[in-house]
Amino acid sequence: MTEKKVVLIDRIKRTPTIGSFRFACTEKIDFLPGQFLQVIFDEKDRNNKELNKYLSFSSAPTKQYIEVTKRISESKFSKKLTSLNINDSALLKAPMGDRVFKEEYKKIAFLIGGIGITPVISILEYIVKKKLSTDAALFYSNRIEEDIAFRQELDYWRGANKNIKVFYTLTEYQPVDSSYIFGRIDKDLVIRESKDYLERIIFIFGPPKMVEAMQALCLEIGCRKEDIKTENFIGY
């Protein structure tokens, strides 16, 4: 784990409330798909939890840049992040986390809600770029269609790679489009759409309550505890 100065080179609006920020660094930051980093805006007080936050990599390690993605709020950290201009610098501490994808995993699944999609993007992009044969099933829940971050990328990847399957669920209204599923991710959905779920490593990223609910679901349907990889997103 090291600290490195990076420079903002691009920002992308993913949804009305979610944005991605891309940084260039003079020395490559090595990390594994699924890991996270810390953005340090207060270098004098490293314990300043309002200005020093943890964010997942939302880009594959194969990229020449580092990307992080965040739901934008009224927090001091969000305001500082969004106030960065192109070519402004920031300090990153990375990498962190052991809930990572390994190429030896032949079958994986994701049970994800909202902003929990960020490390999934790093993993799926890595699988696509490396042309791995990994079978991946993503269950991705949001309130409404406009909340779906990385929709374009996910649709492209599943179209280009027959081993990637994506199931979008919407919880706020009954969708007219048949490509969406109404309701929350539940055991019936997982069993129906991924009959070999017991053969998969399952990743669960997101807010603590979502992670807890999805972990309980997995245990209820018989998944082995050691096959469930969880990461709580705290402090957004």
For residue 126, being part of any structural domain is answered with yes
Tokens for 130, please give them. 């490396």
For residue 101, being part of any structural domain is answered with no
Using the predicted structure, report yes or no on whether residue 227 has a pLDDT greater than 90: yes
Q: State whether 22 and 92 are in the same domain.
A: yes
- Compute the average pLDDT of residues 66-91: 96
pLDDT of residue 198: 97
Q: Which helix H or strand E contains 209, and what residues bound it?
A: helix 208-220
Last residue of a domain, one of 74, 96, 118: 96
> CATH no. for residue 122?
3.40.50.80
> Average per-residue pLDDT in the chain?
95
Question: Is the sign of the CA dihedral 6, 11, 16, 18 positive or negative?
Answer: negative
- pLDDT bracket for residue 236 (50, 70, 90): low
Q: State whether 7 and 39 are in the same domain.
A: yes
Q: Write out the residue range of the structural domain in which residue 178 sits.
A: 107-232
- Compute the average pLDDT of residues 118-122: 98
Q: pTM (2 decimals)?
A: 0.95
What is the bridge-based pairing of β-strands 66-71 and 89-96? unpaired
Q: Are 106 and 134 in contact (CB under 8 A)?
A: yes
pLDDT of residue 235: 59
For residue 111, being part of any structural domain is answered with yes
For residue 172, being part of any structural domain is answered with yes
Q: State whether 90 and 113 are in the same domain.
A: no
Say how many domains are in the chain.
Answer: 2
Q: State whether 112 and 185 are in the same domain.
A: yes
More confident residue, 177 or 39: 39
Last residue of a domain, one of 42, 61, 96: 96
Cα separations (Å) of 95 from 19, 34, 44, 68? 21, 10, 21, 13
Q: State whether 54 and 150 are in the same domain.
A: no
Q: State whether 202 and 112 are in the same domain.
A: yes
- pLDDT bracket for residue 173 (50, 70, 90): confident
**Percent of the chain at pLDDT exceeding 70:** 99
- pLDDT bracket for residue 175 (50, 70, 90): confident
